Structure formats: structure tokens, C-alpha cells
Chains A and B, each alone.
Chain A
């Protein structure tokens, strides 16, 4: 089983280190492997530290933290032997998250879960126009599967609306999340959390399964994805298409990123589309999900929270 990697990107001051510290402290039923540039930034309760040598910090809650030093690959190799469910990589403020994500795509033992880019609500718009780092912050934003605005408490309601509007201007479908969603929703490893605390998960997220026995048009499906609500944070399942009816396709939607891959021939199994969606309960109502189901000529069936393995 590949360990999913969540890349935590964003410019200096966006709050990446604060987030990492928070997640390390709060994590109780998920074992995180966290890669950071600088151990000095890790600021957690000393009672949580089980063991600390030069390059690795082990916590009592099962989380592990490693310094990247000069070699991200070697740090990943160290983690691949540890007993962890999810990796978080904290990128430097000047890094392109997409480049870091490539490690996730290609390093043995790992897969890319998602790219989360933190955005400082107070400064992002000004920064995006800065003559030195403007292009960088926009590229960081464009690489995001999920956007996590920070310091929202420092701006007014009106400014929040402006920020939303601005994000929609720069991104085709900004998928906004909060810090707690990093452990819940952005990676397949969240299943352990859901299993551990299904009520809490259900309080924040809804899931359903859409099934269709009629084949779908691939292009129409991609277009549907591009326009379906950004409140749908994950989608995963097998697709029956009429462009390629003998072969099932694997769809994975992570925030605003969609991948559709040819999987295996249906063989003896009757072909049908079977798609699980997870969305923010407070951001979408049932009618919108029904509309999506209609679009795909699919039927909603009782929700199951497990993703198809």
C-alpha cells in the first residue's frame, strides 16, 4: 500500500508551520509522518515528544517528524520504514508545490494525495502583484488541489467575500478547506479517522454513491467535474464510458484536480458507474447533489463511507 502524501505549500507567513504544529498536537488516531525544512520551527508540548535524535522526532501519538535537510528522497525513504498513515511535506515559502508533488507521484512506496496551498487572507492579493514574488504566489495557487485560507479572523466579512471573488477569478474552481480537513478529507488515509469517529465525520461531511448503468460520455463527465460545486472535496470510483465500454475507468477527484485513468477490462463484471462523493455538509444541499446525479443520469444509492479500494 502506498502512503499518501499531502503537500503543504504557500508563501512565507501563510501559516504552514503553525498548521503543522497544530496537526502534530491534535492528531490522535492517524499517524502522520511530517517532513519539514527546519526542526527549529517545531513547537509542540515537550510531553508529546517520545524520542528525538538529529534528524527525527518521534511523538507519543505515533507521529514522526523528519528534517528534510538537502534530500527529500532520503527523508521519504526514512519515513517509508516508519509505521505511518499519511505524509505531510511542508514546502519552503519559495517552492513550487507542483515540483514537490512530483516526488509523491514517483517515489517508491508513496502516492500523491493532494496539494494544499495555504493563503494568507490578509496579504495574498497584494503579494500576487508584488514585482518579485507575484508570479510565484500565483503559480503556487494554481498548483493547489485545495486552498486553505488563513488569518481569516483578521479580515472583515466584506473582505472575505472579496477574497472569495478574487480566488474565483484566479482559479477555475477553488476548493476551499479548513485546517481540520487536512486529516479528514484530503487523503485516502482519512478512512481511519472516519472509522474512529464516524459521528464527527458525519457532522462535517456528507457522502453518497452515485450509480449509473448507462455508459457516460467522458468529455461530458470532465465538463461536469469542472463545473460541479467546489464543496465536493473528494470523488472516487469506477466509470463506465461509452467511448471505451470494455474497460472500466478509475476516476479520482481531489479538490479541483481530476484524474481519469483506464483501469482494467470489465471482464465478467457487469459494467456500471459507481462513484462516491464527499462534500461539506454546510456548503451544499441535497438538491444540488440530485442535480448532479441527474446530469450523470445516475441514481443515488444509500451512502457508504468507504472508498472503493
Chain B
């Protein structure tokens, strides 16, 4: 079940904490905090996997407060609660996400597309360069995946993995190198950990006896190609439920 906290990332309507937007505008809530909590509680108690759209750190904060309350009321372990889109957040919030057993599904492509302009307008360099802090997520042990939310980003998983591993924006600048993922971690965000976040880790996400034969055939190993070339690997074909589909 997907619920919504704050506004859209592209329109700078994420709810951000102090110092807020540097041009003074305020973000938007898509639901009142009370309504978000009430909905979340219904689905939590019914055993659902809940994903919450959070674009700003204040949206993340509200969602964390709600999750913590729900955990307190009715503890669940493999609940699959996921923070979606995950624009701005603080490292301390990532620690809370880990403590509460939640996952992150980030639209890391926003970093490539928007960080340079957000650094100048509305957000400022510090927070803009650190958006989608996947490095901290992985270090804190949070199960992390990336998505495209097409048409918000190109539906190209290797491209998203490339952004996660390099953090190069469309102006060619590296934005917060400390939050870059290793090649392996970047690949996990589109394979094993993606499967985990979907709750399908028993069936897909890696090549193993007993799992479905769902995988992609590339023209080179990503480890040979190097992080900076992840988005240039060619897809030669796919295998879906054991059937081979070659390109061309």
C-alpha cells in the first residue's frame, strides 16, 4: 500500500526542515499528518507492506515518527515499510530507518537531473549535493533500492545504478563523493535488494537454483567495465522465466 507524505520533488514541494527553502517558500503536505498516521495504522495492523512517498527530510521525519509509534503499538519484524523517492534526509534519520527495520527506495536519478539547479535555487549546495544519501543507507545496513518512477526518470536500471555509483550530475560535477556506492552495492540496488524491497527475494534478484530464471545478459562484466561505464554496458538479451530473448 502506498501512502503520501509531502509534495513532489520536481516542483520543490518537498517538506524540508530548518532552514527550510532558502527562497522562503514552504513545501506541501499531500495528506494531513493525522490522516497519514491513521491510514498507516490501519494497514500496519492488517499486516500490509507500506510504502510512503517522502521527498523532504521533514516528510521523512513525520514518517519516522509514525513508524516508530506503530512499532511501539504493535511490533513487526519483516514489515517491509519503505521510504519512497527519498530526496533529502539527514544521516541521523537513516539511523532511525535502520533501527525501525525499514527499507529505502530512492529515485537517485534526481541527483543527476536536479542537484545542480537545486544547489542554486531553493535548497542550497549542502543539501542538494547530499540528496539520495545511499552511501549512508548501505553503511547503516538499510536495504536500499533505486527506482525510476518513469516518466520521472529514464526506465534504465543500469543508468540509475551508474548515478548511484558515481553521483555525477548533468553538469559533470560529482555531488558528495562520500555517498557513492561501490559497483557491487550499486548493482544490488537493482537486483538483490530490489527484490528484497518488493518482498520477492525468494523468487528473483539473483541467479540461484530454486529461483526464477529472470536475468539480463550484458556484453561485459560491470566489474571489468568500471563504475563510470555502468551506463554504457550493452544489454545483449534477457532471460525471463527461463526463456531466452536476445536483442536484434
Contact = CB atoms under 8 A, between A and B. Distances in A.
B26 A139 contact: yes
A133 B33 contact: yes
A132 B58 contact: yes
Interface in A136-177: 136, 139
Nearest to A13: B34
Prevailing SS type, chain A contact patch? loop
B34 A94 contact: no
A135 interface: yes
Contacts of B31: 94
A12 B26 contact: no
B123 to A, nearest CB: 17
Contact of A94 (B28, B58, B62): B28
A67 to B, nearest CB: 18
Interface string A117-143: 000000000000001110110010000
Count chain B CB atoms within 10 A of each CB in A94, A133, A136 and give the residue with the most.
A94
Nearest to A93: B32
Nearest to B33: A132
Contacts, number: 29
A94 B32 contact: yes
Interface in B16-34: 20, 26, 28-34
A94 B30 contact: yes
B155 interface: no
Contacts of B29: 94, 132-133, 136
B170 interface: no
Contact of B32 (A11, A96, A139): A11
B177 interface: no
Nearest to A95: B28
Contacts of B33: 132-133
Contacts of B34: 12-13
B28 to A, nearest CB: 7
B57 to A, nearest CB: 12
A3 B58 CA distance: 39
Contacts of B26: 135-136, 139
Nearest to B65: A132
A13 B28 CA distance: 18
Interface string A5-37: 000000111000000000000000000000000
Count chain A CB atoms within 10 A of each CB in B15, B30, B32, B33 and give the residue with the most.
B32
B225 interface: no
Contacts of B32: 11-12, 93-94, 133
A12 B34 CA distance: 9
Nearest to B18: A131
Interface string A186-221: 000000000000000000000000000000000000
B233 interface: no
B35 interface: yes
B175 to A, nearest CB: 28
A96 B34 CA distance: 17
Contacts of A133: 29, 32-33
Contacts of A93: 32, 35
A93 B20 CA distance: 21
Interface string B34-63: 110000000000000000000000100110
A132 B35 contact: no
A109 to B, nearest CB: 28
Interface of A: 11-13, 93-94, 96, 131-133, 135-136, 139
Given A94-B31, A94-B32, A132-B15, 9 more contacts: A11-B32, A12-B34, A12-B35, A94-B30, A131-B58, A132-B58, A132-B61, A135-B26, A136-B26
28 contacts: A11-B32, A12-B32, A12-B34, A12-B35, A13-B34, A93-B32, A93-B35, A94-B28, A94-B29, A94-B30, A94-B31, A96-B28, A131-B58, A131-B61, A132-B15, A132-B29, A132-B33, A132-B58, A132-B61, A132-B62, A133-B29, A133-B32, A133-B33, A135-B20, A135-B26, A136-B26, A136-B29, A139-B26
Q: List the 5 closest A-B pairs by CB distance, nearest first.
A: A94-B29, A12-B32, A93-B32, A132-B33, A135-B26
